[in-house]
Structure 1
Amino acid sequence: MNEKNPQDHVIFKISLLSISIFLMMAPAIAPALPLMYHAFPGIDKAGVEMLSTIPNIGIVIGLLISPFLIKLMGEKPTIITGLVITLLAGTFPMYATAYTPILISRFLIGAGIGLFNSLAVSLIPQFYSSNEEKLATMVGYQNVMGSLGAALASFLISWLLTISWHAAFAIYFLVIPVLILFILFVPLPSSRQKKADKAKKAKENRLLMVK
Structure 2
Amino acid sequence: MHHSIHDETHLSNRNHWLRAAVLGANDGLISTASLLVGVAAAGPSSQTLLLTGMAALTAGALSMAAGEYISVSSQADTEKADLDKERYELTHNAERELLELTKIYEARGLNHELARQVAVSLTEHSALETHARDEIGLTDLSQAKPIHASVASGLSFVAGAILPIIGIVLLPASTLVWSLAILTIMGLILLGIISARLGGAPVIRATTRIVTWGILAMMATALIGRLFGVAV
TM-score range, shorter chain: 0.3 to 0.5
TM-score, length of structure 2 as denominator length: 0.32
TM-score, length of structure 1 as denominator length: 0.34
Structure with bigger gyration radius: 2
